[in-house]
Amino acid sequence: MKRNPKEVETTHRSMSRRALLLGGIQLVFAGGLAARMRYLQVDQADQFRLLAEENRINIRLLPPARGEIFDRNGFSLAHNSPSYRVTVVPEDAGDIGEVIEKLSQLISLDPEDIERALAEMRRSPPFLPITLADQLSWEEISKVAVNAPALPGITTEVGLTRVYPQLGDFAHVVGYVGPVSDYDLGKLETPDPILRIPRFQIGKVGFEAKREDSLRGSAGTKRVEVNATGRVMRELSRKEGQAGTDMQLTLDAELQNYVQARLGRESAAAVIVDCKNGDLRAIASAPSFDPNLFVRGISVADYRLLTEDPYRPLANKSVQGTYPPGSTFKMVAALAALEEGLIGPEDTVWCPGHLEVSGRRFHCWKRAGHGHVDLNTSLKQSCDVYYYDLAIKVGIDKISAMANRLGLGIRHDLPMSAVARGLAPNRDWKSRVHGQDWLVGDTVNVSIGQGFMLASPLQLAVMTARIATGRSITPRLVKSIDGIEQESGEGLSLGLGENNLRMVRRGMYSVSNDRRGTGYRARIIAEDMRMAGKSGTSQVRNITAAERAAGVIRNEDLPWERRDHALYVCYAPYDNPRYAVAVVVEHGGGGSKAAAPIARDVMLQALYNGTPPLAAYPKGDRSRIKAQQERLERERIRPQQGRSSDRA
């Protein structure tokens, strides 16, 4: 049928409009798609390239070499040593139990290490390596390497671990490192990412912990290529980190070694301070322990032995332990009275063996009394009644202020754990802490270093050095940092009257060199090495009136934990003070019997910078001293010289 030309024209116009509309829509869609493709491929190319690179390249941290610690003469106290270890990648190992069984046939595996490794596997991705055994010998690591084809997932590695070559000599000072724990991370607001490296070691106690930030160093980085699951395919580049700072301490390893050996198995502490500059030359606490046990994590059995020992080897008695200073405090009370002008060298006090104060009888250690006593005799024979009378005249606030001035009752700023403040009480302290008024009986007790009064061996050594020099000696532990000498602790003048100091020093000289002095048996007879000292005995129990009437029980007849503490402080040479020493023997009994001989021996060792000649000792002691020197020489594990060069 032939269509009307007019209808054909109308239809053609309608189709043309539709075609144009459809073509326009297609053109807009194609243009938008092209614009989007250009945006993604050109404008956003850098961003997507970065995302792709991040998916392919990972940046991982490299642990730095820890800074090393040395004594004043270059002996290594803590260094890094190559450590061979065996790791396993769980996803490559297949049956972990079977692989561990095969490995145990080649090397000895610690059950606690295996339990720790299995626990670590449960909380870590399966492609991360887990340490199964650490600090292996070359022979052991060789066995594993040779049998590697039969041990799927097992890899041998070499790293650095901390070593303490002096064993227990510096355990309480240097401390030790150990693996980072959840507790360690919880103490930090923003933990350093390096702390999350498996088995990374940080300082746990002692100098290692106090100077952790400097010793740790800063991490390095390595760029590795990983696949889609995160497994490392190859290492692309590496930037080593910055090693930690090396530290040199003021301590003398040879002297420290001797002091530790001389203390032996006593529950005791000794501190030696250089009177010239405040350097701590030795600071020992006994018994000690091997810090190397803690580096990888100490076993339950070994830890139990340390914690259940009644002599408390883990406690640093030299700075952490505080004790009633006993009669070693009498110089403080004497100086307080002298500075106030309340006593003179010729003034005497009658000692009948006790003094009545507020209806209570305070006894002298000598039951029959000392008779008429002046200042020199009061120190030489350690008369208690003289100081009871003196304390009532002076008052507790003046005595407490003098104690602070001489370094007691204040915390000395040393990079060691748990440095104690001690206590030099006064009226305000008792009111604030106990809510009670201060009593005159409290003052009487403090005057002989009992009652509330507490001091550490470190504080007693500082007190002695300040009396010897008249300067505010400040104890110094760090000699240099990366070779840069640190500030001296020689201090300024205390502002005390020189005549007053001279009278107290003369009394201390009489203690050691007068035949009636309490420290005479532990004297030094070498003329140029003469020593001034003071013994002390502090009670740890109350003596009842009934016991006094029947006769006070001797220390030797009491259980060890109820015996008195023994103390001795001294300095030498008397005319030109070089060193000050403080010794405390827990439950040792009398200070002149238990602590004074130790103080004399370590003082001579310091003065002679080695084994002293027998001529420095009294004739009657020489055969015993010779046998003691020979025994200590056999038993001592001498310090090891050498600087570690492992800075990988």
pLDDT confidence bin for 159, thresholds 50/70/90: confident
**Position 530: which residue type?**
R
How far is residue 104's CA from residue 109's CA, in Å, rounded to a whole number?
6
Beta bridge partners of 220: 62
- Residue 99, pLDDT > 50, answer yes
Please, which pLDDT band fits residue 646 given cuts at 50, 70 and 90?
Answer: very low
- Cα separation, 497 vs 335, in Å, equals 9
Query: Measured between alpha carbons, how far is 308 from 381 in angstroms, rounded to an integer?
Result: 39
Spatial contact of 442 and 358, defined as CB atoms under 8 Å apart: no
> Looking at residues 84-90, what average pLDDT do you find?
81
Cis, peptide link before residue 129, omega less than 30° from 0: no
* CATH 3.90.1310.10 in the chain, residue ranges: 59-170+184-199+214-249
Indicate if the alpha-carbon torsion angle 443, 448, 454, 455 is positive or negative: positive
Separation between Cα atoms, residue 182 and residue 190, nearest integer Å: 13
* Average pLDDT score over residue span 337-358: 92
Q: How distant is the alpha carbon of residue 494 from its chain centre?
A: 29
What is the mean predicted confidence (pLDDT) over 517-523?
95
Q: What is the spatial distance between Cα 206 and Cα 184, in angstroms, rounded to a whole number?
A: 15
- Decide if 574 contacts 546 (C-beta within 8 A): no
Angle at 590 (CA atoms; ends 586, 595), nearest 5 degrees = 60
Percent of the chain with pLDDT over 90: 56
> ∠375-376-379 over CA atoms, to 5°?
85
Q: For residue 646, give the nearest of 15, 80, 39 by alpha carbon.
A: 80
Q: Identify whether 63 is preceded by a cis peptide bond (ω within 30 of 0).
A: no
Q: What is the pLDDT of residues 194-244, one digit of tens each?
A: 777 667 788 999 999 999 989 988 877 777 676 554 455 666 777 877 888
CA dihedral for 281, 283, 288, 293, sign (positive or negative): negative
Residue range 495-521: average pLDDT? 96
Q: What is the DSSP track for 109-135?
A: --HHHHHHHHHHHHTS-TTS-EEEEEE
Mean pLDDT, rounded, for 589-605? 94
CA 427 to chain centre: 33
Q: Is 570 within 8 Å of 604 (Cβ atoms)?
A: no
Residue 550 has pLDDT above 80, yes or no: no
CATH 3.40.710.10 segments of the chain: 253-604+613-635
Count the neighbouring beta carbons within 10 Å of the beta carbon of residue 50: 10
Angle at 335 between CA 333 and CA 337, to 5 degrees: 70
Amino acid 543: pLDDT: 64
In sequence order, the β-bridge partners of residue 567 are 536, 584
Q: Give residue 33's pLDDT.
A: 79
pLDDT of 223: 75
pLDDT score recorded for residue 87: 80
Confidence of residue 183 (pLDDT cuts 50, 70, 90): confident
pLDDT over 70 for what percent of the chain? 87
Q: Is the pLDDT confidence value at 111 over 90? A: no
Q: Which range has the worst mean pLDDT, 114-118, 186-190, 261-265, 333-337?
A: 186-190
CATH hierarchy code of domain 59-170+184-199+214-249: 3.90.1310.10
Residue 50 in this model has a pLDDT that exceeds 60: no
Q: Where are the beta strands (DSSP E) in 384-483?
A: 478-481
The whole-angstrom separation of Cα 217 and Cα 241 is 8
Q: Which helix (H) or strand (E) holds 583?
A: strand 579-585
Do the beta carbons of residue 168 and residue 316 sit within 8 Å? Answer: no
Instruction: Write out pLDDT tens, residues 265-318.
Output: 899 999 999 999 999 999 999 999 999 999 877 888 888 999 999 999 999 999
Is 460:567 a contact under the CB 8 Å cutoff?
Answer: yes
The three state secondary structure string of 496-515 is: CCHHHHHHHHHHHHHHHHCC
- The number of residues making up the chain comes to 648
- pLDDT for the residue numbered 644: 42
Residue identified by tokens 């004043």 is 72
> String of b and e for 483-492 (b: at least 16 CB within 10 Å)?
eeeeeebbbe
The pLDDT value recorded for residue 43 is 67
**Would you say 472 and 491 are in contact if contact means Cβ atoms under 8 Å apart?**
yes
Phi, psi of 154 (to 5 degrees): -90, 135
Closest CA relative to residue 167, chosen from 281, 242, 55, 261: 261
Closest CA to 252 of 276, 271, 266, 275: 271
Weakest-pLDDT range from 64-68, 70-74, 150-154, 547-551:
547-551
327 catalytic per annotation: yes
What region, left, alpha or beta, does residue 366 occupy, with left being phi > 0 and alpha being psi -120 to 50 degrees? beta
Residue identified by tokens 């080897």 is 313
Buried-exposed string 67-94: b where 16+ CB fall within 10 A, e elsewhere: bbbbbbeebbbbbbeebbbbbbbbeebe
Q: CA-to-CA distance for 42 and 271, rounded, in angstroms?
A: 74
Q: Is the pLDDT of residue 62 over 60?
A: yes
Over the chain, what is the mean pLDDT?
A: 86
**Per-residue pLDDT, 645:** 38
Q: List, edge to edge, every strand of the sheet that includes 57-62.
A: 57-62, 220-226, 232-239
DSSP-assigned beta bridge partners for residue 350: 372
Using CA atoms, how far apart are residues 485 and 38, in angstroms rounded to an integer?
A: 64
Cβ neighbours of residue 509 under 8 Å, at least 6 residues apart? 530, 532, 574
Superfamily of domain 253-604+613-635 in the CATH hierarchy: DD-peptidase/beta-lactamase superfamily (3.40.710.10)
Helices and strands: H and E segment counts in the chain:
24, 21
Spell 345-377 as b/e; 16+ CB within 10 A means b: eeeebebebbbebeeeebbbbeeebbeebbbbb
- The set of residues, in sequence order, having a beta carbon less than 8 Å from that of 190 and lying 6+ positions away, is none
Catalytic residue among 76, 327, 456, 472: 327
Angstrom distances, CA of residue 432 to CA of 26, 66, 451: 89, 45, 17
164 vs 136: CA distance, rounded Å: 17
Lowest mean pLDDT among 81-85, 256-260, 363-367: 81-85
